[in-house]
Structure 1
């Protein structure tokens, strides 16, 4: 296994071309299924066209190459490698997409489909999902101190901490790579940080963070959980920095954070977190094993204690015994439409609402824990953001850099909400606008140069070129480009600029300001509501021990991250999720290692 950091650097330095020759169990294509030859096709990736080359003989697909792409290194790499491999292996384009790189995966599949159409293939047959041959699965047994289910931010934090407390650890990750939602996140981390905040003239306190988190969730969270969270947020940053992770010195306010205490990593997206964990794991791989493509299916319970996990791998069945404890860190259920609709009480039907999440968070861990007796809390609390990409629902393409320097306008060019409000408040207001669509408006203060990047490692010039953002030297021209009323847009900006001068609360209740929107070029980016975070889940105590329906500890079972409930209440503050993964990931790992 190559070091994660080294691999990321190499991937950032060059485009990747993969040539994969098939092996393994395949679907039967049939004689004369293809017109032999080599064909090309293109699909739409997240940053433009993905071009592939597909080679077939009369009966099968023999090779797939990704020729050209502009996808994000370190995020889309596995999709560009594994999707072609699986297509050849299974002779199918019905293979699974890759977590965290869904758009890139679909782009490759679309391109291969178009190439195969040229080869005269029966596309309907090739779109069938390949089946596993269960009879050929190998039986694998593992015996460790701690099993962690889930290789996202909270799971890897738990794994590292468990090892730091003397445990031998196994991580089971159902997707083909680790990272979860953390690696594709905007990576903002909330913590009271006097040193950094003082430089910006920001006064803050742990009590203030507690109050805003508790009241921002309508006081339905468990107070002791909120207190544990806010008190351990900054120590979490110190812990990450002790392992080599770097944060920028500037503090900002991420969407819905309510206060400037958000930290931004130096590395793009959430790659800094995952790289930090994986570097540690690589150095200690004798005692920490990660098994990807390994979906946990059942907790093993003996005499009322959780002692292990059953899982299914790509080619094996796994029984993993844990002498000290099992940590559930499988994320939430924002990617499970049926589950969202089952528990939803706050929003209208969520069936057609896209999500910022990768495909993995489908509530698996919640189901397993509940079957083992765990109590679930706050399942009806589902967070929608007003910041989804209109096509994909993802956070990518979002042009905002922070709350203070931008406004939201509807299709008519009018402001309609306090842009520094709670996320649910902003999203409800957006649903009331025409087509539930808005424009984020800002200027050169947010993008001093065209190569300045957003929080998702995309430069503003790239976004404009791709038609995902609009640029103009005047507000009149910008309004024309986005189809808004020029007078309305100019008035909206003028009113905002007056408030920047006075710092007074405006008619929408806004209080967060920094720079005026008065310097060309001006920019606009479209956004829609999207499912982002599920605040409900497995109930835990401050030691991250899972509780049953009577409030008693289920021995041997711990949980952390978005799979838990009771920490954020009815609404999660922006920037609290990454801190949550670190704080309770660490607590769960330590508690499990101690067999607490």
Structure 2
């Protein structure tokens, strides 16, 4: 079938961006501002996992938002903290560049229309309620992180009610659409290569209202019901097969892959990270690994594919941080004030997915009082589930241990040591106090529970040149966001993936545009 007139006009552009989520929108906008003609293609209508996210950008070193809030932060402190999170996944030079340009990144986003707010959240939480937009989004206050760097709140939540990823992407997409052409309902199926260089993409495109409607429901409520989302996705794929037509688009300067991760590809997840099956996939059906596979098809190499983030948050309510998290033997294994992904990683990889939080009646009462003021609706559901459904209560430590399947002697020894102030994990002193009966053990184990889901997302991707974002050994091809190995590919804290989408997307777009 021949191309429509507007598609025919876009067959030759300077830069083609595959995937119009957070990283893709940043790549497209940066490439356009660098003087390139840009076409972005997206399998659906854009947004990807970014639009579903909390809209958190991890930034520091003295951003305008931090300064307005009276927060003191330095680039050195930000580097010192993130070095412990990133490990060797990026070089010291790249890590420092990210931190040193962090304040400028916030201004770039603000210039694109992304709204921020300097109201600091006064309590530890997985995600702040609508009154607060700057918070400690990682493990900055947990041991040993706080010993290496002065903690500072660096989670910049986009201003907007509820999970504000929609507000973040709406502003960014509006700025990008003013400068680039976006072709929705268009799936990149292969890369065009000439003389060892990527020179374009072959796509399947269609125009279908039902395609959009099915995707909308597969995303939400499909996010919370993965089986339902898979059923709708099969219908989406059938529509694409029946009504799609082939489009070839040449890229004079480069192609940027920014098509997300692979959390919705069950075969890839089973092959690379089987321990994390059973979590709640955090992403859209477009996070199927297609961008990574496109890169591999022309010689790109994937790395960190077993790196998956599983979020087992204990907060809100913040009072629960005073509890003791134990495994089946009754032993503690983490500072309870650590970020949820740090807890989730140890839980899944080291403790067989089994864990319980021991609290007493004083903590329970405080936690219940905090629910209304510390939670949004989705957190409120989980908080009520934990405090009213997923717990076993009893007058003694041994009794709740027996009823929960935890070793009674091991738990009793842990509680006694904790009461004496013996804390091998260095939890902040104000969160440590002897527990007194009656007691409750809250089941925090990993698994597919609707009342207390454990979201997971993949962090691995294509290996890229850290200076340019070019896929290693593949001229003309770049990658960004969760299609590439990046700052958060070792461990995740809230906002670091989105910040890396901005950082790596801008880098890829800028260098693709300059590639003559």
Same-fold call, TM cutoff 0.5: yes
Q: Which residue of 1 aligns with 2:116?
A: 246
Write out aligned runs for 1:200-279 (5 A).
Answer: 204-242=73-111, 243-250=113-120, 251-256=134-139, 258=145, 259-265=151-157, 266-267=159-160, 268-269=162-163, 270-279=165-174
Instruction: Give the whole-Å Cα distance in 1 for the aligned partners of 2:417 and 2:68.
Output: 29
- CA displacement, residues 469-495 of structure 1 (integer Å, 9 cap, x when unaligned): 5399xx979x99997699999999999
Of the three residues 563, 566, 574, the one matched with 2:483 is 563
TM-score (normalizing by structure 1): 0.59
Write out aligned runs for 1:298-309 (5 A).
Answer: 298-309=190-201
Q: Which residue of 2 aligns with 1:507?
A: 423
- CA displacement, residues 195-218 of structure 1 (integer Å, 9 cap, x when unaligned): 665788876432333333334343
Alignment CA distance shift 1:359-1:302 (3 Å) = same
- CA displacement, residues 395-442 of structure 1 (integer Å, 9 cap, x when unaligned): 8x9746799777645689975421345745653245665862445977
Instruction: Give the whole-Å Cα distance in 2 for the aligned partners of 1:232 and 1:403.
Output: 36
Of the three residues 323, 330, 336, the one matched with 1:419 is 336
Q: Secondary structure at the match of 1:528?
A: coil
Instruction: Give the whole-Å Cα distance in 1 for the aligned partners of 2:350 and 2:478.
Output: 41
Write out aligned runs for 1:397-546 (5 A).
Answer: 399=316, 408=325, 415-421=332-338, 423-424=341-342, 426-429=344-347, 436-439=354-357, 450-452=371-373, 454=375, 458=378, 460=380, 462-463=381-382, 467=385, 470=388, 507-512=423-428, 526=444, 528=446, 532-546=456-470
Instruction: Give the whole-Å Cα distance in 2 for the aligned partners of 1:239 and 1:322.
Output: 26
Q: Which residue of 1 aligns with 2:497?
A: 577
Considering Cα pairs closer than 8 Å and 6+ residues apart, tell me whether 1 or 2 has the greater RCO: 2
Q: Which residue of 2 aligns with 1:360?
A: 286
Alignment CA distance shift 1:451-1:569 (3 Å) = closer
- CA displacement, residues 270-306 of structure 1 (integer Å, 9 cap, x when unaligned): 1232121133245x1xx42323322111112223332
TM-score (normalizing by structure 2): 0.67
Alignment CA distance shift 1:232-1:453 (3 Å) = same
Q: Secondary structure at the match of 2:101?
A: helix
Instruction: Give the whole-Å Cα distance in 1 for the aligned partners of 2:75 and 2:368.
Output: 32
Q: Secondary structure at the match of 2:373?
A: coil
Alignment CA distance shift 1:178-1:526 (3 Å) = farther
CA contact (8 A) 1:410 1:416 kept: yes
Q: Which residue of 2 aligns with 1:171?
A: 40
CA contact (8 A) 2:199 2:250 kept: yes
Instruction: Give the whole-Å Cα distance in 1 for the aligned partners of 2:429 and 2:52.
Output: 28
Of the three residues 241, 258, 269, the one matched with 1:340 is 269
* Post-superposition offset of 1:569: 5.4
Instruction: Give the whole-Å Cα distance in 2 for the aligned partners of 1:273 and 1:216.
Output: 25
CA contact (8 A) 2:51 2:168 kept: yes
Instruction: Give the whole-Å Cα distance in 1 for the aligned partners of 2:84 and 2:353.
Output: 31
Alignment CA distance shift 1:579-1:220 (3 Å) = closer
- CA displacement, residues 45-73 of structure 1 (integer Å, 9 cap, x when unaligned): xxxxxxxxxxxxxxxxxxxxxxxxxxxxx
Alignment CA distance shift 1:582-1:150 (3 Å) = same
Q: Which residue of 1 aligns with 2:307?
A: 382
- CA displacement, residues 78-110 of structure 1 (integer Å, 9 cap, x when unaligned): xxxxxxxxxxxxxxxxxxxxxxxxxxxxxxxxx
* Post-superposition offset of 1:191: 1.8
Alignment CA distance shift 1:183-1:212 (3 Å) = same
CA contact (8 A) 1:404 1:514 kept: no
Q: Aligned residue pairs: how many?
A: 432
* Post-superposition offset of 1:179: 2.0
